[in-house]
């Protein structure tokens, strides 16, 4: 009975405080503190935050991404006092360094940790962290300019429970940071007597690292973000897929060295993969996308924006994915109306579609698309010349204030009621056109919703 009453007391007493500091009488009751969107005139200081952490021992999750003035001193106080802490987000806290991360590694056993944008962090603190926090399920280390292969290799070796790993925009990372596929010695090419080897190029200590061969599988890893890591090649993707065969969400946008060979490796994820981001991966072609669509049949979100080698063929195959809900085709400039006809015929459950700067598309094809896709809630069509006609822009969202006159004139983004309004307007225009043809009256475009011909 006593245990039941105590549990009830703890549940009723638990506090979650957002975008303010707890009062003195709340210190011992607060469990979750989130400073994400503080007001511009907020008077909170790092000293105030330190006082809270020193007196709030029952904190379980802390988010400080909205308070960039956080210092090492404050984080160390948190690590020393909040022994039940399992979730910590320090993204954007630029004054946090290796000093406090070492203390976190020594004092806490975290489940979730976000250190995005902490430009002063280096490999030793990350290595210490992953070696001591064996319970880590979510780890985010994006925008870390000093992060190298040394610590990332330790992540793959020691953090075996990870479900989410984000390493986007870490410029020092190369293939050496990621698991490699073991190659038998017999497959190593042998130079014939008359072939001269290329002269050795200068190497760094990172180049001299051996391939990372890991015997265990990362069966728990579901979300992996490697966006805009320019140093990785197809070999890294092959090793990652071999090591983590159940990835569901894979972000590779901006990895410019990837080719169709990387897509062939991704095909091995099969029905597990449902989100794939490939924007700005300019070397992929229809051949790779066709293989991908046939192998990963559960894909529901795909981004191939700025992949300028793709044509209608890729869209045909993506349209036939039965679960496709979101599709981005920005600047796939070879795409024509035939691709939109395929989407209108097969992708009936599509909810969000981005066609911006696909300048070959006609208004008639867009009309067929919005008429058939009744579940469409978002349509981006910025930069499509055929939409520059009377009556269309009134259904678009308002362009950003910092756009110049030309950008505002080309801005066409339809959401919710805007999509419905565009659908109805184009349907009425089609009726007027047919009526004009029947009565042999010249058709003129109009911007209103009337059905009369004059």
The domain segmentation of the chain, as residue ranges, is 70-77+92-180+213-438
The 3-state DSSP class for residue 279 equals coil
What string of DSSP letters covers 99-132? HHHHHHHHH---SEEE-TT-TT--HHHHHHHHHH
The pLDDT value recorded for residue 189 is 53
The pLDDT value recorded for residue 444 is 61
The pLDDT value recorded for residue 356 is 97
Query: Residue length, the chain?
Result: 454
The 3-state DSSP class for residue 231 equals strand
What string of DSSP letters covers 237-274? HHHHHHH-TT--EEE-TT-TT--HHHHHHHGGGGGG--
The pLDDT value recorded for residue 438 is 73
CA distances from 411 to 234, 395, 402, 406, 416 (A): 36, 11, 12, 9, 16
Among candidate residues 430, 422, 410, 312, the one with its CA nearest the CA of residue 364: 430
Asked whether the CA dihedral 227, 231, 234, 239 is positive or negative, the reply is negative
Please give the radius of gyration of the chain, using alpha carbons only, rounded to the nearest integer. 27
CA distances from 179 to 30, 138, 437 (A): 41, 19, 65
The pLDDT value recorded for residue 7 is 42
The domain made up of 70-77+92-180+213-438 has a fold known as: 3.80.10
* Cα 107 to chain centroid, rounded: 31
Write out the chain's pLDDT in tens, 454 residues: 434 344 443 455 689 999 999 999 999 999 999 999 887 767 899 999 999 999 999 999 999 999 999 999 999 999 999 999 999 999 999 999 999 999 999 999 999 999 999 999 999 999 999 999 999 999 999 999 999 999 999 999 999 999 999 999 999 999 999 999 976 554 455 545 555 566 666 667 677 888 899 999 999 999 999 999 999 999 999 999 999 999 999 999 999 999 999 999 999 999 999 999 999 999 999 999 999 999 999 999 999 999 999 999 999 999 999 999 999 999 999 999 999 999 999 999 999 999 999 999 999 999 999 999 999 999 999 999 999 888 898 999 999 999 999 999 999 999 999 999 999 988 888 787 777 777 677 666 666 665 555 5
The pLDDT value recorded for residue 5 is 43
Give start and end residues of each alpha helix (H) in 56-196. Answer: 72-81, 98-107, 123-132, 149-158
């Amino acid at each position: 009975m006593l245990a039941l009453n105590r549990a009830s007391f703890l549940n009723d007493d638990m506090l979650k405080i957002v975008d303010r500091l707890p009062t003195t009488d709340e210190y011992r009751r607060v469990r979750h503190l989130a400073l994400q969107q503080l007001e511009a005139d907020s008077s909170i200081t790092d000293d105030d935050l330190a006082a809270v952490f020193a007196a709030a021992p029952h904190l379980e999750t802390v988010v400080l991404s909205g308070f960039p003035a956080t210092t090492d001193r404050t984080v160390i106080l948190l690590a020393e006092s909040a022994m039940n802490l399992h979730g910590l987000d320090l993204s954007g806290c630029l004054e946090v360094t290796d000093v406090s991360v070492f203390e976190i590694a020594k004092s806490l056993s975290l489940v979730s940790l976000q250190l995005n944008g902490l430009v002063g962090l280096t490999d030793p603190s990350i290595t210490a962290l992953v070696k001591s926090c064996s319970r880590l399920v979510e780890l985010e280390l994006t925008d870390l300019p000093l992060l190298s292969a040394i610590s990332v290799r330790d992540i793959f070796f020691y953090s075996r429970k990870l479900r989410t790993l984000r390493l986007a925009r870490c410029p020092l990372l190369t293939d050496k940071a990621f698991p490699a596929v073991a190659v038998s010695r017999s497959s190593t090419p042998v130079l014939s007597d008359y072939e001269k080897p290329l002269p050795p190029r200068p190497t760094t200590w990172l180049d001299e690292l051996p391939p990372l061969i890991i015997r265990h599988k990362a069966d728990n890893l579901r979300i992996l973000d490697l966006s805009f890591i320019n140093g990785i090649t197809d070999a890294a993707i092959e090793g990652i897929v071999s090591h983590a065969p159940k990835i569901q969400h894979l972000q590779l946008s901006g990895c410019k060295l990837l080719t169709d060979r990387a897509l062939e490796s991704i095909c091995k994820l099969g029905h597990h993969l449902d989100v794939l981001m490939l924007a700005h991966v300019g070397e992929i072609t229809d051949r790779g996308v066709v293989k991908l669509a046939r192998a990963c049949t559960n894909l529901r979100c795909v981004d191939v924006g700025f992949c300028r080698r793709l044509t209608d063929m890729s869209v045909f195959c993506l349209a036939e994915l039965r679960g496709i809900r979101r599709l981005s085709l920005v600047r796939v400039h070879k795409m024509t109306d035939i691709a939109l006809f395929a989407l209108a015929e097969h992708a009936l459950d599509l909810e969000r579609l981005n066609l911006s700067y696909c300048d070959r598309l006609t208004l008639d094809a867009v009309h067929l698309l919005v008429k058939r896709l009744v579940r469409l809630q978002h349509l981006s069509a910025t930069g499509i010349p055929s939409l520059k006609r009377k009556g269309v822009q009134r259904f678009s969202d308002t362009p950003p204030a910092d756009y110049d006159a030309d950008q505002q004139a080309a801005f066409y983004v339809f959401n919710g009621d805007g999509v419905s309004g565009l659908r109805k307007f184009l349907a009425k225009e089609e009726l007027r056109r047919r009526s004009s043809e029947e009565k042999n009256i010249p058709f003129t475009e109009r911007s209103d919703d009337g059905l009369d011909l004059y």
